[in-house]
Amino acid sequence: MNDAEALIETRGLVCGYPGREPVLRGLDLTLRPGERRGLVGPNGSGKTTLLFALMGLIKPSEGEIRLFGRAMTGPKEFAAARLRLGFLFQHADDQLFSPSVLDDVAFGPLNQGLSRAEARRRAEETLELLGLSDFADRVPYRLSGGEQKLVALATVLSMRPEALILDEPTTGLDRETKARIVDILNGLDIAVLAVSHEPDFLSKITNRLYSLRDGRLVESTVEPHAHVHVHAEGGLPHSHDD
Amino acid sequence: MSDLEAPLSQGSGPIHRLDPRARLLAMLFFSIPVALARSDASALAALGFGLLTLTLARPAPGLILRRLLAVNAFTAFLWVFLPLGGQGEALFHLGPLVYSREGARLALLLTLKTNAAFLAVTSLVGTIAPQDLGRALQALGLPEKFCHLLLMAHRYLFVIQREFRRLLTAAEARGFKPRTDGHTYRTYAWLLGMLLVKSWDRAERVHQAMLCRGFNGRFHSLAEFSYGARDTIFLMLAGLASAAVAGLSILEKTA
């Protein structure tokens, strides 16, 4: 564990929805530069709630959130911190709204105050990095689900975030797109906090896995273990790619 | 391509090379005298300017015809109801009903004005891409909230349309066929209700996603706005056309 200033830190986070028991009950979490953490948990365990609280989209009822060393006390603090975080939504079509892919990828950089020429260059560079240069003039909502996800990732990476927050990044994707996302993420030198219900995927892009149990984080370990196969190739050496 | 995708803004006519702010200003100059025009001559002049902007916009003919038909479905009603209800000299009789010359003249005037305004709006404002429209309006000093509403309405209309199709397809996949009965009305009511709830949720998520990418109420776009000699010439032309429309109305009144 290094002593660098934490990018993301929560203490005793309690968060939930009116009329129900809170889903997060005193959650502590720290993400430092270079760390990659994965969070597994079943549907409804509060994974998305945690991420939304971190981005300031949901107000926790108790507890403290610190981003980049600053206490997040109100919308103003969150607005400043969001410019340094890259949040990938579960559904790419919630994230893409511009008439062209290039416009969408440039949206974040323009909001960060880059000039039009700089934002365009940044967007083009990011698309090239992800191998999406041919998509620049396409209409985002006409793309396939996998293409949309990659473009959504580009819209976030073009902001050069200091930490990536990924909400179920593989939902509804085929094996090929998943592999591409793993490659992209592993090629980046950037802190990652990812939630998913797919431990196999998470173990590929993160180096520490946690589960959300009873509204708190519990570290889980990945160990080889015996299991039953429902496919004929079960007896051969293999990996669980999806 | 659906109309919600602003197909006109993707054209490449001379009007697309004009600064969006100049196009908006031209529309502003032009719309006031057209709205106030009372004479056929000034309405015809307005229609002339509308046609001129249309040729500069070079839209797909099918698209314009389809939209013209939609607009003139309304003016068709004017041709039926205005002359029949009005008084004055009879043009002809429909059984006991009188079709008046005065009413027909009024219907003609309204038809000319409507089409002139429609053509000008379509070619001047319709050719501005939605994201540029927001920025141009902001640049002209309109309140940010107003521009925000306009752009979001555009974005959400599309979302709502898609959501409704999805719900309807799901209903049809389970054998739903619209008829004139209680089951159909109830199903439509549920679809609409569900649409409202889902659209609201969806709109909120889109807004949240925008916030996460640093959106703070101000729209930016990659397009360069450059106001040049071309724009000044066009604005002068629009000013002249507006003056002609206004002048012809005044002349007729004094004559």
User: What is the number of other CB atoms lying within 10 angstroms of the CB of residue A32?
Assistant: 17
In this prediction, residue A125 has a pLDDT band, given cuts at 50, 70 and 90, of very high
Q: Which residue has the higher pLDDT, B98 or A56?
A: A56
**Residue B111 in this model has a pLDDT that exceeds 90:** yes
In this prediction, residue A240 has a pLDDT band, given cuts at 50, 70 and 90, of low
Q: Which residue has the higher pLDDT, A64 or B252?
A: A64
Q: What percent of chain A has pLDDT over 70?
A: 89
CA distance B182 to B180: 7
Q: What percent of chain B has pLDDT over 70?
A: 96
**Residue B85 in this model has a pLDDT that exceeds 90:** no
Mean pLDDT of A32-44: 90
CA distance A162 to A158: 11
Give the pLDDT of residue B91: 82
Which residues in chain A touch residue B139, judged by CB atoms under 8 angstroms apart? none
Scanning every residue of chain A, which has its alpha carbon at the shortest distance from the alpha carbon of B7? A99
- Furthest C-alpha separation in chain B: 68
Give the pLDDT of residue B33: 92
**Residue B1 in this model has a pLDDT that exceeds 60:** no
A85 touches chain B (CB under 8 A): yes
Tokens representing residue B24 in the block: 């908006």
Flag if B222 and A83 touch (Cβ within 8 Å): no
Span B156-181, pLDDT tens digits: 777 788 888 888 898 888 888 888 88
User: Would you list the DSSP string of A156-179?
Assistant: HHTT--SEEEEESTTTT--HHHHH
Mean pLDDT of A2-13: 84
Mean pLDDT of A128-154: 91
Flag if A111 and B215 touch (Cβ within 8 Å): yes
Flag if A89 and B222 touch (Cβ within 8 Å): no
Give the pLDDT of residue B121: 93
**Residue A117 in this model has a pLDDT that exceeds 70:** yes
Instruction: Quote the pTM value.
Output: 0.74
Distance from CA of A103 to the nearest CA of B (A): 7
A184 touches chain B (CB under 8 A): no
In this prediction, residue A242 has a pLDDT band, given cuts at 50, 70 and 90, of very low
Which residues in chain B touch residue A97, judged by CB atoms under 8 angstroms apart? 155, 206, 209-210
Radius of gyration of chain A (CA): 18
Span A151-160, pLDDT tens digits: 999 999 999 9
B33, B46 Cβ separation under 8 angstroms: yes
User: H helices of chain A, where?
Assistant: 47-54, 75-82, 92-95, 101-111, 116-129, 145-157, 175-186, 199-205
Mean pLDDT of B220-247: 88
A144 touches chain B (CB under 8 A): no
Q: Which residue in B4, B161, B163, B222 has the most chain A C-beta atoms within 10 A of its own C-beta, making it the best mutation to test that interface?
A: B222
Q: Average pLDDT over chain B, rounded to whole?
A: 87
**DSSP-derived 3-state class of residue A199:** helix
Q: Which helix (H) or strand (E) holds A237?
A: none
In this prediction, residue A43 has a pLDDT band, given cuts at 50, 70 and 90, of confident
Flag if A156 and B224 touch (Cβ within 8 Å): no
| φ, ψ at A198 (rounded to 5°) | -115, 95
Mean pLDDT of A28-44: 91
Mean pLDDT of A98-112: 89
Mean pLDDT of B139-153: 83
Report the amino acid identity of residue B125. Answer: V
**Residue A11 in this model has a pLDDT that exceeds 50:** yes
Give the pLDDT of residue B7: 77
**DSSP-derived 3-state class of residue A221:** coil
In this prediction, residue B224 has a pLDDT band, given cuts at 50, 70 and 90, of confident
Chain B residues touching chain A at CB-CB below 8 Å:
5-6, 9, 129-131, 155, 158, 162, 202, 205-206, 208-216, 220-224
Distance from CA of B48 to the nearest CA of A (A): 32
Angle at the Cα of A123 (from A120 to A124), degrees rounded to 5? 85
Q: Average pLDDT over chain A, rounded to whole?
A: 88
Flag if A139 and B210 touch (Cβ within 8 Å): no
Determine the length of chain B.
255
Give the pLDDT of residue A226: 62
Give the pLDDT of residue B51: 93
Using CB atoms, pick whichever of A83, A97, A116 lies closest to residue B222: A116
**Residue A50 in this model has a pLDDT that exceeds 90:** yes
Distance from CA of A180 to the nearest CA of B (A): 23
**β partners of residue A85:** A163
User: Would you list the DSSP string of B116-145?
Assistant: HHHHHHHHHTTTS-HHHHHHHHHHTT--HH
**Residue A130 in this model has a pLDDT that exceeds 80:** yes
Distance from CA of A124 to the nearest CA of B (A): 12
Place of tokens 């090929």: A176
Span B15-65, pLDDT tens digits: 888 999 999 999 999 999 999 988 889 999 999 999 999 999 988 888 899
CA distance B236 to A210: 67
Span A188-208, pLDDT tens digits: 999 999 999 888 889 899 989
User: Would you list the DSSP string of A30-41?
Assistant: EE-TT-EEEEE-
Q: Is the ipTM of this complex over 0.85?
A: no
Give the pLDDT of residue A1: 47
Give the pLDDT of residue A231: 67
Flag if B214 and A112 touch (Cβ within 8 Å): yes
- Residue A164, judged by CB atoms within 10 A of its CB (0-12, 13-18, 19+), counts as buried
Distance from CA of B135 to the nearest CA of A (A): 13
**CA B49 distance to own-chain centroid:** 17
